[in-house]
Structure 1
Amino acid sequence: MNDHICAMTTPVRPFDNDRLLAAVLQHADRCADADGVVLTPVPGLRMMRTWRLQGPMRSIYRPLICLVLQGRKSLLVGQEERLLHAGQSIIVAAHMPVTGHIVQATPAEPYVAVAIELDLALLHTLALEIGDAPATGSVSTPVFSETLDQTIIDCATRLLRLIDHPEAIAPVQPAIMRELHYWLLRSQHGTALRHLAIPSGEQQRLTRAIDLLRQRFREPIGIDRLAAAANLSPSAFRRHFKELTSLSPLQFQTHLRLTEARRLMIAEAMPAGLAALEVGYQSASHFSRDFVRMFGAPPRRDRVARTAPLPAATLEPAGS
């Protein structure tokens, strides 16, 4: 998963961590994509398992919590760089461009993580229901990392269990998510989360503009329209947007376009020229220049590298 990253604090019991790790590996072995990403039928839940070092992996995080269960990953979140290792729980409480590198992963001990998207509106509603004092001030520290919390491990384990019981997803998932958000509010960073979730706050107003960019990233969107969505003047919107995301609105939109184009080329085998048109580019050369600037290689070469089979040694079963 600026995207404020907060963390949980209670040490995890090894048995429970192992149980969650085993569940992730079981599902990942069946349906991980070429990058090791596992999308699930449970809304907002995804996993990652990879045996190889990877990076740079660029994306724009939505608000989420990420549980690192095994291996290590370095993240550049805005201007903050962090090394995340097994046993850490990371909260991303705003939309933010993130560049990641898997820096520790082997066939015997692959990098494994679980990510769960968060609902800031639910955080705000719960804070009001349980009578927490209104948050005041501002969030000064954008990045935090701490030891995994047992309550979050338990919620993640129960969400994973729903994968094998699809009929239970609709009635059970909302209750687990509500509990998850409750424990986040009770964490050491609950005050910061309450502040970020205030509907009238700057972060939430900017989120409305970011949501518009996400929905309409294929289209030209003027700064006036985005500023109006955030209820800010154009100059104030530009300033606050850059402070939150570390990107200009145009850079943010370009990031969204290129990330989606890359997904189309790899996951759906779409030709580079068609993918460029699909995400809103009118010029193939412009698309190629932007792609190289962001991913370090031309579109076709990047696709070949990311879809190439792993060396035989890397594909050996863990523990062999």
Structure 2
Amino acid sequence: MPEFDALAAVIARYAPTDGSHETPIPNLFVYRASHPTEPAHVLHEPAFCIVAQGRKEVELNGVTYPYDSSTALVLSVDLPIVGRVIEATPEKPYLGAKLSLCPRALNAMLIEHRLDQREGPSDVALSVAPTPAEVSDAFARLVGLLDAPNDIAALAPLAEREILYRLLTGAFAARIRQIALADGRINQVSRAIDWIKRNFNQPFRIDAVCSAANMSPSSLHAHFKSVTSMSPLQYQKQLRLQEARRLIVSNARDAATAGHDVGYDSPSQFSREYRRLFGAPPIRDAARLREGPAELSIG
């Protein structure tokens, strides 16, 4: 499609090398990959992700969601997901962009334009769906402002507002409303997630998580799994292992120390769970990552 050809051309200029690139436009990031990538384990914030060229897939707790230039990815809470580029060549690299979504801005738009403020469905807070033409057009205009840096301050907020409005009134509306509503069930789960993120290396305390979320234990477990597709304890384990991997790969810690630092008392349990998630023991996995191509952030 012509708009995606133009979008790909702009992204290619501002993502000249493989990996993630910040842009002068707040909340906007662009990505390039010249080859299919290894799986990247990340904690992904609420965002709208679009592909201009190539194909990608993300995995959440064993369920895979592929997407390309005909579809877009939306996440409405912080989720530990695995992503990889599955179609890219040096001649025709993967090119994508991500717009981080601000709950405050979305909530203000709901109120200002008197949009439907009912919460969306309580199933997994991740969706892939066809990209409406009006959303891709607005997104192309936002990214196109990278070629007009003097116009960014005046026009980027307007383009972003249009994108948010289109998302709140189109095919992604139910999922996007989840981010905006401060008193909805999804927000209660988000508060539970915030507690786990702040205390991921401490013993898990269901009473403290329930208090943070203002939910009973049974309600928390049911709705947390409905939104994230995992239990609160599984979520904590994902955060622990991702942080341990970062520490080991960066040479900041050896495997035993990294496991202890993220909350494991048993080195054997740490090694066993690390291997189950990443496919290899800590030292072998770290050596492979250091020697191979860098993982690509989700986008």
Q: What TM-score bracket applies, with the shorter chain setting the length? A: 0.7 to 0.9
Q: What's 2:269 paired with? A: 286
2:4 corresponds to 1:20: no
Given residue 207 of structure 1, which amino acid in structure 2 is its aligned partner? S
Q: Go from structure 1 to structure 2 and tell me whether the alpha carbon gap of 1:231 and 1:171 turns closer, same or farther (over 3 Å shift).
A: farther
Amino acid paired to 1:239: A
Shift in CA distance, 257/47, structure 1 to aligned 2, threshold 3 Å: farther
Does residue 303 of the first structure (1) align with residue 290 of the second (2)?
Answer: no
Cα deviation per residue 1:30-52 (whole Å; 9 max; x = unaligned)?
A: 4x4xxx33355655333332222
- For 1:22, give the aligned amino acid: A
2:72 alignment partner in structure 1: 89
**What residue in structure 2 maps to residue 200 of structure 1?**
183
- How large is the RMSD of aligned CA atoms in angstroms? 3.2
Distance in 2 between residues matched to 1:218 and 1:162, nearest whole Å: 40
CA distance in 1, matches of 2:100, 2:183: 21
TM-score scaled by length of structure 1: 0.77
Q: Distance in 2 between matches of 1:282 and 1:160?
A: 51
Cα deviation 1:108-143 (Å, max 9, x = unaligned): 122222122212332222111101233267456863
Q: In 2, Cα distance between the equivalents of 1:211 and 1:27? A: 33
Q: Which residue of 2 aligns with 1:6?
A: none
Q: Which amino acid aligns with 1:188?
A: A
Normalised by the length of structure 2, the TM-score is 0.81
Q: How far off its partner does 1:65 sit? A: 0.6
Q: Deviations over 1:140-189 (max 9, x none)?
A: 68634103535445446535756995x99888765554343222113233
1:228-247 superposed matches below 5 A = 228-247=211-230
The sequence identity of aligned pairs, in percent, is 32
With over 3 angstroms needed to count, the CA separation of the structure-2 counterparts of 1:192 and 1:294, relative to structure 1, is closer
The one of 136, 146, 149 equivalent to 2:130 is: 146
Hey, what's the Cα distance between the residues in 1 that align with 2:267 and 2:145? 45
Partner of 2:251: 269
Question: What is the rounded CA distance, in whole Å, between the counterparts of 1:249 and 1:209 in structure 2?
Answer: 8
In structure 2, distance between residues paired with 1:168 and 1:272: 48
> Which residue of structure 1 lines up, in the alignment, with residue 296 of structure 2?
none
What is aligned with 1:258? 241
Post-superposition shift, 1:300? 2.1
Match of 2:297 in 1: none
Query: In the alignment, does 2:81 pair up with 1:98?
Result: yes
Q: For 1:120 and 1:170, how far apart are their aligned partners in 2? A: 21
Which stretch has the larger CA shift, 233-242 or 143-152? 143-152
After superposition, the C-alpha distances for 1:265-314 in whole angstroms (9 at most, x for unaligned) are 34x3323334434433444433322211110012222222223256xxxx
2:210, 2:216 within 8 Å by CA — same for their partners in 1?
yes
Query: Which residue of the partner structure matches residue 178 of structure 1?
Result: 161
Deviates more, 1:91-100 or 1:220-229: 91-100
The letter for the 2-side match of 1:230 is: A
Q: CA contact under 8 A between 1:20 and 1:153: conserved in structure 2?
A: no
- Partner SS for 2:226: helix
Q: Quick one: distance in 2 between partners of 1:271 and 1:161?
A: 42
Structure 1 residues 262 and 79: CA distance shift in structure 2, 3 A: closer
The aligned amino acid for 1:28 is A
Q: Is the 8 A contact 2:47 2:99 kept in 1?
A: yes
Q: Structure 1: state its 5+ residue gaps.
A: 1-12, 311-320
- Report SS of the residue matched to 2:65: strand
Paired residue total: 291
Distance in 2, matches of 1:168 and 1:175, equals 11
Structure 2 CA distance for partners of 1:297 and 1:79, relative to 1, 3 Å: closer
Q: Is the 8 A contact 1:276 1:287 kept in 2?
A: yes
> How far 1:207 moved relative to its partner?
0.5
Describe the superposition over 1:54-98 as per-residue Cα deviations: whole angstroms up to 9, x where unpaired. 343333322111101111123333564332123322222233332
